[in-house]
Structure 1
Amino acid sequence: MTCIQKTIKRYAEYKGEYFVAESHPTEQYVQGLKKEMVTMVEKIEMLEVHNQKLMGKSLAFCSLKELQEIATQIEKSLHIVRSRKAKLYEDEVEKLKAKGRELKDERVRLSGRVGEEPSGMPMPSGSKEKEDVETDLSIGFRPDLNILLVP
């Protein structure tokens, strides 16, 4: 055997040992993943059964204690849901009140620009400029017009 052939043989042997030594930890890793997968599948199945019980299904084989625990869990969940709902309603009422205050302020501001009281009634006659409208009715001759006014 030549020197090159010996080197190739040693390389092949080394390469084979290297992969054999390295494959063992890989197999352990794969086995660990398989065990973890089995554990997860079991947990998922238990959660699905528990969920069905909470939804009122598959209760035929439940003991009285289990049924009481399920009822307690449902009551706690219902309390949490109702509390959240009440909080959302409170927040919405506060938003609507704030919007109402904004609209009221805007109405007051706009009424001031138009010259009205915020209630929608005109301002007293002394507070704004008088309009040039004459409301007196007169019957008779007006020399400046040279006509007779009759109602």
Structure 2
Amino acid sequence: MGRGKTEMRRIENDTSRQVTFSKRRNGLLKKAFELSVLCDAEVALIVFSPRGKLYEFASSSTQETINRYMMHSKNINIENRTTEQNMQNWKFEAAALSKKIELLEGNQRKLMGESLGSCSMAELHEMESQLEKSLTNIRGRKTHMLTQQIVQLKERERTLIEKNKILREKVESPLQLNEPGEALDDDDHGGQDSEVETELFIGRPGSSRQCNIRA
């Protein structure tokens, strides 16, 4: 029959409490020893009895383990403080950026001619100056771009004219070799007239009458 579940509360009977302490203390020390051996872990266990008696177990040295724990705890506290401080800085930075974005959006609406009811005369004059300055810069940039485009188009036109001139010269060169004044005349054949003799047949087909015609 299995052991019943123990209620987790202080044992009122002194004898029972002392017996339970001894049993569970020995079991706890045994578990600490097994953990250090099986897992090669650094274990330090400190137990004070109800009467103030010290019981301890350490896989290496209790004091060294305590010092290591204190250093680790200190580093954790420093990291926690650093993380908390960074979070605060990020919150302040996010709030500042949000405020800046809101201000920029308000200025943008005013430059677009909206929400001008709360603007003073000085603010309106300043916005007008900003718009005039921006318009001057935009016109200057536009003029510069148009000038560059004109220069590029003129350069392209000059290149096309040169290419057209070269092509025209190539087309006209073969025509100059066969001009009408350079055609051969009859004297180039030795001054002799060429004669062509043609036979002309008169009569029905099959008849023998024929006439020679010299041209």
* Superposition TM-score, scaled by structure 1 size: 0.72
The answer on 1:131 being equivalent to 2:188 is no
Which runs of structure 1 show a deviation greater than 6 angstroms over 4 or more consecutive aligned residues? Answer: none
The answer on 1:2 being equivalent to 2:50 is no
**Deviation of 1:144 (Å):** 3.5
Query: What is the rounded CA distance, in whole Å, between the counterparts of 2:65 and 2:160 in structure 1?
Result: 92
Cross-structure match for 1:94: 151
The answer on 1:18 being equivalent to 2:49 is no
- The one-letter code sitting in structure 2 at the alignment partner of 1:86 is T
User: Counterparts of 1:35-114 in structure 2 under 5 Å?
Assistant: 35-114=92-171
The 3 A distance-change label for structure 1 pair 131 and 68 is same
Query: What is the rounded CA distance, in whole Å, between the counterparts of 1:44 and 1:96 in structure 2?
Result: 44
Superposed CA offset, 1:80-130 (max 9, x none): 1111111111111111101110111011111110117xxxxxx9xxxx224
- The one-letter code sitting in structure 1 at the alignment partner of 2:56 is T
- The one-letter code sitting in structure 1 at the alignment partner of 2:157 is G
Rg (Cα) greater in structure: 2
More strand by share: 2
The 3 A distance-change label for structure 1 pair 145 and 58 is farther
- The one-letter code sitting in structure 2 at the alignment partner of 1:131 is E
Cross-structure match for 2:172: 115
Superposed CA offset, 1:123-147 (max 9, x none): 9xxxx2243587xxxxxxxx6466x
Say which is worse superposed, 2-11 or 51-60, in terms of deviation.
Answer: 2-11
- The one-letter code sitting in structure 1 at the alignment partner of 2:179 is E
Count the aligned residue pairs. 129
The 3 A distance-change label for structure 1 pair 50 and 129 is same
- The one-letter code sitting in structure 1 at the alignment partner of 2:135 is L
Superposed CA offset, 1:35-87 (max 9, x none): 11111111111111111111111111111110111011001001111111111
Alignment RMSD (CA, Å):
2.7
Cross-structure match for 2:51: none
SS across alignment from 1:3: strand
* Superposition TM-score, scaled by structure 2 size: 0.52
Query: What is the rounded CA distance, in whole Å, between the counterparts of 1:32 and 1:25 in structure 2?
Result: 10
Query: What is the rounded CA distance, in whole Å, between the counterparts of 1:106 and 1:9 in structure 2?
Result: 91
SS across alignment from 2:116: coil
